[in-house]
Chain A
Amino acid sequence: MFLALRDLRRGARRFALLGVVIALVALLSTVLSALATGLVTDGISGLRALPFDHLALQDGSQSTFSRSTLRPDTLEKFEGLDGVKATPLGASFVNAASTDGGPNLDLALFGVSPDSFLVERPEAHAALEGTPGLVLAHELEEQGVKVGDTYTLGGSDVELPVLGFTFAGTYGHAPIAFTSLETWQKVQFGDGADGRFAAVALTGGTDQQLEKAATATHTDVLTKKEAYAGSPGYTAETTTMSLIRGFLLVISALVIGAFFTVLTVQRTRQIGLLKAMGATNGYILRDGIGQMAILVVLATAGGVALGCALVFFMGRGDAPVELSIPAVTTVVVSLVVAGVLGSLVAFKRITGVEPAIALGVEP
């Protein structure tokens, strides 16, 4: 890259415009990526944090808790499987009205058995086993909710105190509130719960075992990742974000391809001269693609750095943004690959330049 490096250094102004465009695309991609990660976290972090491998939901519920109602006989079938731990899970969205004049809360209410494998921390176990109440996601504590505050849960007259806070995360963009399964059933079904719950959380067991049990119990057994799709808006959000990022990459590749093509047209005589000097097509292509790669890497690094700074400031507000190393790495790698692929557009044009052009002779 003898020529490429010197060309970049001494013709910096010529490359500045493209560099700025790539940096802006990188910045936008980083922010979108952080937003996508943030939205995913906001949608499913609570579910992701629970220590289960599979969820069994009622047949046809399409991963959605509100469409699934299971009974104890289903739980017994899963509990009977060798090497499988099964526990009932209640999940629903509720509005919690403060009885003390504080702000009302939208909650994802998860009902769990206090002695199940889902409740890992002893203090959580103790809290859920005692007086009925709520163990809330710690984000709510930062919003001013205190232990001892009481809330009336919408759709029922059940009044519950706040027992404590834990890293519960969120589900469907609502903070999770854990309560005992019994309390959840009371909120959800009143006095006629009849042992009903939304899903069976499972850990251990083979796929064959679980499939067989699913058929027998008329349930769908989902992996944890498959269960994420049931979070309201999850599929739409991830699809939209992926689409926007895909478009950005395509635009980036096209911009770089167009720039490199114009650059190649401008350099036609120079390319002819290099060929007249004995440079092969490979030498010229390596030089040109190398030049684009350096430009794309530098501009992308700059854009990503600015994007990270912007995300940092956005994160201090209400925007659901989250930076993750794999997501940022994906942005960088995708942009560099798109840029280099874009520069390959000029491949044919470079190989087509005749060396005779150096002498101004018609090839």
Chain B
Amino acid sequence: MTEPAVLLEGIRVAFPDGPDERVVLDDLKLSVDPGELVVISGQSGAGKSTLLAVTGLLRRADAGEVTIAGTATSAMSSRQRTAVRRDHIAFVYQSANLLPSLTAVEQLELVGHIRGERSADVRRRARGLLDELGLADRASQLPSQLSGGERQRVGIARAFMAEPSVLIADEPTASLDPQRADSVAELLAGASGRGIATIVVAHDTAALSRADRHLRMEDGRLIDVGG
């Protein structure tokens, strides 16, 4: 049996709400296998982004265990969690979140630089990925010179550059027109072919139609609504 790339068990997150607390994630469970694409939908404020943050080790849960690529992380120090994030997790954001002073190829090279890889290898791999995603001729452009769709594709290429076990995407198609949204969703679906466990928060059919599993967030838990 394949070991899940992501395993969440008994996750609880609550925020203070005046004298009380508002429970956002309540005894939540989730298991995602390598190469599986899971799409999560839910109402605004349901806790989808919080779930992504906990899964991506960007914040700690109040209770429960997050296991990434077979490594339990709840007892880890911040430094150790940073190392797990660097080696196993990549993100794609709604607004691409590219660094304004870096060209497209440098956005990817930065990933390798943070990981302490040799710059010649990093540059070759970065160019290869941009080429693969149809951005070869945009490699030297700054984010301000790219269209919304191109920025998002560079964001995805950056995520692939990390060769992650887990790819987390937060509404990556929300700000794109249907045609570009479809192209981006296709690229994310391509992550499965790379053996990456992909968790996408999305509402549009472009993403939902490609999901291996569709989960809905309700009352702090995930409900399986089919594939």
Give me the interface of A with B, judged by CB distance under 8 Å: 2-3, 6-7, 9-11, 269-270, 273-280, 283, 354-356, 358-363
With a CB–CB cut-off of 8 A, which chain B residues contact A279?
Answer: 82, 86, 114
Cross-chain contact A277 with B142 (CB below 8 angstroms): no
B114 partner, pick from A270, A277, A354, beta carbons under 8 A: A277
Cross-chain contact A280 with B99 (CB below 8 angstroms): no
- B109-143 residues with Cβ-Cβ distance < 8 A to A are 109-111, 113-115, 142
Cross-chain contact A278 with B83 (CB below 8 angstroms): yes
With a CB–CB cut-off of 8 A, which chain A residues contact B87?
Answer: 278
With a CB–CB cut-off of 8 A, which chain A residues contact B49?
Answer: 359-361
Cross-chain contact B56 with A6 (CB below 8 angstroms): no
Cross-chain contact B79 with A355 (CB below 8 angstroms): no
B170 close to chain A: CB less than 8 A: yes
B102 close to chain A: CB less than 8 A: yes
With a CB–CB cut-off of 8 A, which chain B residues contact A356?
Answer: 53, 58-59
Cross-chain contact A2 with B113 (CB below 8 angstroms): yes
A-B interface, 8 closest residue pairs, ranked by CB to CB distance from nearest? A278-B86, A356-B58, A356-B59, A361-B53, A7-B101, A2-B113, A10-B101, A355-B58
With a CB–CB cut-off of 8 A, which chain B residues contact A362?
Answer: 15
B106 close to chain A: CB less than 8 A: yes
Task: Name A9's closest neighbour in chain B (CB-CB).
Answer: B101
Cross-chain contact B53 with A273 (CB below 8 angstroms): no
In the complex, how many angstroms separate the beta carbon of B12 from the nearest chain A beta carbon? 16
Report the bound CA distance from A359 to B199 in whole Å: 14
Cross-chain contact A276 with B56 (CB below 8 angstroms): yes
Q: Mark B23-62, 1 if CB is under 8 A from A, else 0.
A: 0000000000000000000000000011011001011000
Q: List 22 A-B contacts (CB under 8 A).
A: A2-B106, A3-B99, A3-B102, A6-B101, A270-B99, A277-B85, A277-B90, A277-B114, A277-B162, A278-B86, A278-B114, A278-B162, A279-B114, A280-B79, A354-B58, A356-B53, A358-B93, A359-B56, A359-B58, A359-B91, A360-B49, A362-B15
The A interface, classified by DSSP as helix, strand, loop or mixed, is helix
- With A278-B82, A278-B114, A361-B49 already in contact, 19 other A-B pairs whose C-beta atoms are closer than 8 Å: A2-B106, A3-B101, A3-B110, A270-B99, A275-B82, A276-B85, A276-B91, A277-B90, A280-B79, A280-B82, A283-B114, A358-B93, A358-B97, A359-B49, A359-B56, A359-B58, A361-B58, A361-B59, A362-B15
In the complex, how many angstroms separate the beta carbon of B97 from the nearest chain A beta carbon? 5
Cross-chain contact A274 with B114 (CB below 8 angstroms): yes
In the complex, how many angstroms separate the beta carbon of A279 from the nearest chain B beta carbon? 5
Report the bound CA distance from A354 to B82 in whole Å: 11
Report the bound CA distance from A355 to B79 in whole Å: 12
In the complex, how many angstroms separate the beta carbon of B155 from the nearest chain A beta carbon? 11
Report the bound CA distance from A157 to B109 in whole Å: 87
Q: Decide yes or no: A276 and B58 within 8 Å by CB, A6-B102, A7-B101, A359-B52 being known contacts.
A: yes
Report the bound CA distance from A356 to B93 in whole Å: 12
User: Which residue, of A269, A280, A361, has the highest number of chain B Cβ atoms within 10 A?
Assistant: A361
Cross-chain contact B59 with A354 (CB below 8 angstroms): yes
In the complex, how many angstroms separate the beta carbon of B87 from the nearest chain A beta carbon? 7
With a CB–CB cut-off of 8 A, which chain A residues contact B15?
Answer: 362
Q: Decide yes or no: A363 and B59 within 8 Å by CB, A11-B101, A277-B162 being known contacts.
A: yes
With a CB–CB cut-off of 8 A, which chain B residues contact A3?
Answer: 99, 101-102, 110
With a CB–CB cut-off of 8 A, which chain A residues contact B99?
Answer: 3, 270, 273
User: Which residue, of B87, B89, B99, B109, has the highest number of chain A Cβ atoms within 10 A?
Assistant: B99
Cross-chain contact A277 with B93 (CB below 8 angstroms): no
User: Which residue, of A6, A274, A275, A356, has the highest number of chain B Cβ atoms within 10 A?
Assistant: A356
Q: Decide yes or no: A277 and B52 within 8 Å by CB, A270-B99, A363-B59 being known contacts.
A: no
Cross-chain contact A6 with B91 (CB below 8 angstroms): no
